[in-house]
Amino acid sequence: NMAGARALMRASGVASEDIGKPIVAIANSFTEFVPGHTHLQPVGRIVSEAVKAAGAVPREFNTIAVDDGIAMGHGGMLYSLPSRDLIADSV
């Protein structure tokens, strides 16, 4: 009867009437550290509202944000592209 799963869903804010609806995961790389990602928090909200309007349950999660500019000038610049693989694996 999935009582445990339902309890976890309820604890994360899913309403009783939404249990059983499709769940749509929304990956968001919003962060205050990377200028190119600072606008993504409201974008995630817009996507969530569209998912709700379509009759599904949105569940947003964060992933890593990479900024090539921050990495330049030190050893971290060697890891910009490999870190994108890590991001893809986290999704």
- What DSSP string runs through 27-55? EE---SS-GGGTTHHHHHHHHHHHHHHTT
Q: What is the pLDDT of residue 37?
A: 93
Compute, in degrees rounded to 10, the torsion defined by CA atoms 78, 82, 86, 89.
180
- Averaged pLDDT for residues 9-19: 94
Instruction: Please report, as a single letter, which amino acid is at residue 46.
Output: I
Instruction: Please report, as a single letter, which amino acid is at residue 18.
Output: D
Tokens of 7: 């309890």
Average pLDDT, the chain: 89
Residue 10 lies in a domain: no
What pLDDT, in 10s, does the model give residues 43-75?
A: 999 999 999 999 999 999 998 888 777 777 777
Residue 50 lies in a domain: yes
Residue 15 lies in a domain: no
Residue 86 lies in a domain: yes
Instruction: Write out the residue range of the structural domain in which residue 69 sits.
Output: 22-90
Residue 60 lies in a domain: yes
Q: Is the pTM higher than 0.85?
A: no
Residue 55 lies in a domain: yes
Residue 17 lies in a domain: no
- Tell me whether residue 48 is exposed, middle or buried, using C-beta atoms within 10 angstroms of its C-beta: 0 to 12, 13 to 18, 19 or more: middle
